[in-house]
Chains A and B, each alone.
Chain A
C-alpha cells in the first residue's frame, strides 16, 4: 500500500514538472540566429561554407560592417546540404534569418506562397541602379506571378559540353554540331576503346542536364515553360517524348561510359574521366572548369580542354544559343524580420552584394558574376577564353533556363530525379516517364 501512494504522488509531481521542463527546453530553442540580433539595426544572414563564396561573402560583409557601424550584418555559414534542410526548418518555425540565401525557382516559390519572404518588386523599381547592373535573364528564377522575391547575385553557371582535344585529334574528329554527329562520335570513340561521354549518373542531376538541353533543342523553351506553368500532360508533349527517346538511344549506343550509374559527381570522378583521357566528352556546369584546372595537371593550362555549344537536333525548334544552368544565386528577405532589419538588409543588397570589390573577387576565383559590362575585366584574366565564352553565352542567350531541379517544386523535383534515374537505366520507357511526371504537375 505504502508503495502505491508514493508512486501516485510522484506521478502527480511529474505531471506538474513536465510542462515546466518542456517550457525550459523550448526557451533554449528560441535563441537561434534568427531571434538573436544585437543592435536594433543589425540583420542576420545565412550563407554557405566552402570556397570561393565563403571568403568573398565574409570580406564583403566585413567591409560593409566597417562602413556602417549602426547597421551590422551578422553572418552564419552552413555546409550546402545541411543548409538546405536547416533553412526549410527555420522558415517553417518562423525563425529564419533576415537574409535568406537560395537558388530561386521552386524553393523560392514555396516560401513566397507561404508569405515567408518579402516582395522586392517596388523596392527594385525605386532603385533601378541595383536592378540594371544585373543580367536581365537572372531575374526569371526570382519572379513568381510577376513579383520579384529575391535579388539575384553571385555568378552564372551555364551547362557546357566539354571535350578532350587530344582525344578528338587522336580520333581525327571534330566536336559535334548536331545530334547525329554526336551519335556517330559515340561509335567512333567506342571503336577506339575510349568512352564517348563521361557521366556521373549516380548523382542523377547530372543526367538531368541532358534532358534539359534536349528538351530545348527538340521542342524549344516552350516545352519546359508549359511544364513549369503547370499545364496538364505537359510532359507528354511529342517533343518531350522525342527528346527522351533520343537520350535512351544514346544510352543504348553506349554513348555514356560503362558503369556510369556507379559514378558520383561529389567525388569529381566524372571530371577525372575527361582529363585523364578515359572519356572524350562531358556535359557539365561551368563550375567544373576550376576543378579540372586545379586537379587535371597540364590538362587545362596545356590547352587540352575544349568546349562547344550543345548540338542542335535536325528539325528541332530550339536555338543553339539557348542556355540552361544556374542563372545565379538568390538572396531574399524574411517577412518575419523587423523594419530595422529589413532596412539593413536592403542597404546591404544595394551596397554589398556584387559591389565592384565583390565582382573582382568572383572573377579572380574563375567565375562569371551576373553583372553587365565586365568584358574588359574578364579579358584581362588568365582564363579569358573560357570566362568570355561563359559571359557571352549567358548574356546573349535568347532563353536561359534555370536547372529543372531548382525550378520545379521540391515534390516534382524529387520525382523527376527518381524517374531520370530509371530512364537512364532503361527501366522505364519515355512514355512511362512522361506519365509518371504528368502525375506531379501542380504538386
Chain B
C-alpha cells in the first residue's frame, strides 16, 4: 500500500497520459494563438514562427481591458455583500432554534433547487422597469441574491459545529450582539469564508447568461460576454480568436494556480459539506 511498486509506475504512466490528453485542447489553443493569420498548417502541428501580434489586436478590439474591470467590480462587490449578509443570516439561523427560524432556513434552502431561469425573466422585466439594464449594479444585485442559499448553507453547517463558549463569554461581558458577531464569531468563520469566496468567485466570474441579458446593448461588458461578442464577430479568423480566448482564460488560470490549494480545498470541503 505504501511502497512504490512496478504497478504504481504503470499507473503513473497511465495517469500522466490521461492528463496529457485532457490538457491537449489547451495546447491547441495556445499553439493557434501564436500563429500569423491565414496559416494553413494543421492546428496540432507546433507553430514554426510564433508571434504575439494576435494578442495586442485581440486585447484592444475585444475591449478586454474594460471588461476585466467590470468583471472584477461585479465579482468583488457581490462577494463582499454575500459574505457579510450570508454570515449574519447564517449566524441567526444556526443559533436560534425557534420554529419560524427553521421555516426561514427551509425557505432559503429551497433556493438551492430553484433553477435561476425561472426568476430570470420576471426579474429582467423588473430590472428593465427600474432602468437598471446595462448597469453593473443590476448584476451585483442579481448575484448577491442568487448565491445566498449556497452561501448560507455553507455558513450554517460550519457555525452549528462551532462551540458557543466564546460568544457566550463575550455576551456576559456585556458585548452587544453585533459586536459579538463582528469581533468574536466572524473571525472564527475564516475557513468557511474562504470556501464561500472561492466557490462564488468561480460561479459569478464565469456567469454568461445573466450579463448577456442584463448588459446587452450597453458598452459595459463582463469578460465572458466580451469574449462571446468578439468571437462571434471574427469566428473564421481563428488565430485571432484564439488569442482572445487565451486572454480570457489567463486571469482565471493565474488566480487558480496561485491559490490552487485553497481553491481545491474550497470546492472539495465546501461542497462535500
Tell whether A and B belong to one assembly. no
